[in-house]
Amino acid sequence: MNSEQFLQLLRRDGFPEPVEVQQVPNGQIGVHEHPFEVRALVVEGDITIVIDGLSKNYKAGEMFHLELKQPHAESYGSEGVKYLASRKQ
């Protein structure tokens, strides 16, 4: 998926304009949750998200989705990660 396709999907589903998020190489964030739903498109690098003990890695061109208040952990690859994230209240 490219960024234009991602933006069209967000608009169709009522999500606001995304913000760019960048995380450091080999970084990680332990289990946490957000007070919003997230749809994100990885632009560079990669991110691994763990939900309910299941780990999934996302690379450039792939989209991930987090439900409202969904507990998850994150870790970032050797190049870090840059992604576009839309947060829906």
Question: Mind listing the pLDDT tens digit for each residue in 53-74?
Answer: 999 999 999 999 999 999 999 9
Question: Mind listing the pLDDT tens digit for each residue in 4-57?
Answer: 999 999 999 999 999 999 999 999 999 999 999 999 999 999 999 999 999 999
Domains of the chain: 3-88 (2.60.120.10)
Burial class (CB in 10 A: 0-12, 13-18, 19+), 66: buried
Rounded distance, CA 23 to CA 6, Å? 20
Q: What is the pTM of this model?
A: 0.94
Number of helices and strands in the chain (H, E):
1, 6
Token pair for 7: 């933006």
